[in-house]
């Protein structure tokens, strides 16, 4: 008996040690994950926040016959500023003078964008200026003629081969258009499919095969849906490549299994007593679903939809397959015109050799993360606000 008691105490001691070890491993894993997450955010913020300011130089722009020629736009500023003022600003002067002839033989002093090399020099990064250019920049800084201001062009310009002119306007516009098309395609089809499978479809081998395929499709790599979109949406249906419609339909196909699974889970969470009570007062099967089951499951459906849209917003691989890596200089006027999205824009900037694109890449990632966090926070808030205990 004493030996049995000692064995029991030994087993209990080992169990307690194992429990403490398991808890310590869990806490350690959580701490390690938190450290990586903090390091990631700190690194992205450190690299991205400088992109929200840009070097500007106060220059006197002269509009004359020399500066109006196609290749003489650099004559619009003094010679010492020709390597400091952005070429993207100067090369628009001939077009401005063409549309506004009254500008001929006039001049004005204004703040204009400096080159990316000047901006990087002022930020202490990637010094590529000559000694003479450094001397000029330092003198202009002392005279208050070069300042770092909020980078408005980053939000209002399209992509550009000049880093100081590059912006995310087209990418943001394209992202919004693609998400709207994705929702318009995936949401009604996904919800109606879920309602049929969960409430009306008979339990037979056909529906079981359909359910297995839906679950498998939700786990397929996203690039496969890109190939599917290329073959069906572009090659078969003839939708223009690189268009918001092609991207939206492709992402709609990818999001359908996710929305169906989330919607079925929300429908399944409604107690059967609700259905039985509705049937008891003479409601038809469709009235039971439309008036009772669907409204009660709507919060769960919307939560799953928001999370799936957040996932779609961060997808890159399927959109690269359908051509959204195209260089687009103007926001699309319709869903059939070429466009790009924020993840594709980030990918394109990471492949560029210009070092000034590094901070713009990190800034675009920050904006994408903020939007995704807002969407996920909205889903959590909606779930907690509308959650019901049965």
What would the pLDDT profile of 326-348 be if each residue is shown by its tens digit?
778 788 888 888 888 998 899 88
Q: What is the pLDDT of residues 34-54, one digit of tens each?
A: 999 899 889 989 888 999 999
Please give the Cα distance from 312 to 305 (Å, whole number): 10
- Residue 387's pLDDT band, with cuts at 50, 70 and 90, is low
Share of the chain above pLDDT 70, in %: 98
Q: How many whole angstroms separate alpha carbon 62 and alpha carbon 162? A: 23
Distances (CA, A) of 247 to 191, 237, 244, 342: 21, 13, 5, 13
pLDDT at 154: 92
**Is pLDDT of 2 > 70?**
no
Q: Please state, in angstroms and rounded to a whole number, the distance separating the CA atoms of residues 365 and 313.
A: 12
| pLDDT tens track for 132-146 | 888 889 999 999 999
Give the chain's radius of gyration (CA, Å).
Answer: 30
User: Which of 109-123, 226-240, 370-384 is the least confident region?
Assistant: 370-384
Strand spans (E) along the chain = 53-63, 106-113, 146-150
pLDDT of 217 strictly over 60 = yes
Q: What's the confidence (pLDDT) of residue 57?
A: 92
Q: Distance between CA 223 and CA 231 in Å, rounded?
A: 13
Cα 122 to Cα 142: distance, rounded to the nearest angstrom: 12
177-199 residue pLDDT tens: 999 999 999 999 999 999 999 88
Write out the DSSP string of 333-365: SSTTSB---HHHHHHHHHT-S-TTHHHHHHHHH
Report pLDDT digits (tens) over 232-275. Answer: 999 988 889 889 999 999 999 899 998 999 899 889 888 888 88
Which residues are 54's β-sheet partners? Answer: 149
389 band by pLDDT with thresholds 50, 70 and 90:
low
Mean pLDDT of 147-176: 90
Average pLDDT, the chain: 87
Task: Please state the separation of Cα 65 from the chain's center in Å.
Answer: 45
Return the half-sphere exposure (C-beta side, CA atoms, 13 A cut-off) of residue 246. Answer: 32
Q: State pTM to two decimals.
A: 0.83
Res 80 pLDDT > 70:
yes
pLDDT given at position 161: 87
Who contacts 343 (Cβ-Cβ below 8 Å, separation ≥6)?
313, 314, 315, 316, 319, 368
pLDDT higher than 90, residue 56: yes
Terminal C-alpha separation, the chain: 50
pLDDT grade for 71, boundaries at 50, 70 and 90: confident
Please say whether the beta carbons of 276 and 306 come within 8 A: no
Least confident range from 58-62, 108-112, 376-380: namely: 376-380
d(CA 207, CA 371): 37
Residue 107 tokens read as 């001049």
In this predicted structure, what is the pLDDT of residue 3?
58
Q: Which two tokens stand for residue 248?
A: 């939206």
Confidence of residue 1 (pLDDT cuts 50, 70, 90): very low
Burial of 85 (0-12, 13-18, 19+ CB in 10 A): buried
User: According to the model, what pLDDT value does residue 390 have?
Assistant: 60
CA dist., res. 17 & res. 20, Å (int): 5
| Rounded CA separation 259/273 (Å) | 25
* Token output for 29: 């894993």
Structural domains of the chain sorted by starting position, each given as residue range(s) with its CATH number in brackets: 54-149 (no CATH), 169-386 (1.10.3720.10)
Alpha-carbon distance 54 to 117, whole Å? 11
């Amino acid at each position: 008996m004493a030996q049995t008691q000692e064995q029991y105490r030994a087993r209990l001691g080992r169990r307690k040690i194992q429990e403490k070890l398991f808890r310590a491993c869990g806490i350690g894993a959580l701490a390690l994950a938190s450290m990586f997450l903090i390091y990631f955010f700190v690194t992205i913020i450190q690299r991205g926040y400088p992109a929200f300011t840009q070097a500007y130089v106060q220059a006197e722009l002269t509009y004359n016959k020399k500066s109006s020629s196609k290749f003489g736009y650099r004559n619009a500023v003094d010679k010492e500023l020709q390597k400091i003022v952005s070429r993207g600003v100067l090369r628009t002067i001939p077009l401005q003078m063409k549309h506004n002839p009254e500008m001929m033989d006039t001049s004005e002093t204004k703040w204009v964008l400096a080159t990316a090399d000047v901006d990087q020099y002022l930020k202490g990064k990637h010094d590529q200026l000559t000694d003479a250019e450094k001397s000029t920049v330092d003198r202009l800084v002392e005279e208050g003629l070069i300042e770092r201001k909020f980078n408005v062009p980053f939000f209002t310009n399209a992509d550009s081969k000049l880093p100081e002119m590059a912006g995310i306007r087209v990418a943001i516009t394209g992202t919004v258009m693609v998400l709207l098309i994705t929702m318009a395609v995936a949401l009604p089809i996904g919800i109606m499919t879920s309602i049929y499978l969960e409430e009306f479809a008979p339990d037979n081998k056909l529906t079981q095969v359909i359910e297995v395929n839906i679950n498998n499709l939700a786990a397929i790599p996203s690039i496969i849906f890109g190939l599917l979109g290329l073959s069906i949406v572009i090659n078969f249906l003839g939708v223009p490549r690189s268009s918001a419609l092609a991207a939206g339909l492709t992402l709609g196909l990818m999001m359908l299994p996710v929305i169906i699974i989330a919607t079925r889970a929300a429908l399944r969470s409604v107690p059967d007593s609700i259905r039985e009570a509705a049937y008891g007062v003479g409601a038809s099967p469709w009235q039971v679903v439309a008036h009772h089951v669907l409204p009660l499951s709507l919060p769960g459906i919307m939560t799953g939809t928001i999370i799936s849209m957040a996932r779609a917003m961060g997808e890159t691989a399927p959109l690269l397959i359908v051509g959204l890596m195209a260089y687009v200089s103007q926001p699309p006027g319709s869903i059939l015109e070429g466009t790009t999205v924020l993840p594709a824009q980030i990918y394109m900037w990471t492949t560029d050799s210009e070092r000034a694109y590094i901070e713009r890449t990190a800034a675009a990632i920050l904006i994408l993360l903020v939007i995704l966090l807002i969407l996920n926070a909205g889903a959590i808030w909606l779930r907690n606000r509308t959650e019901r205990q049965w």
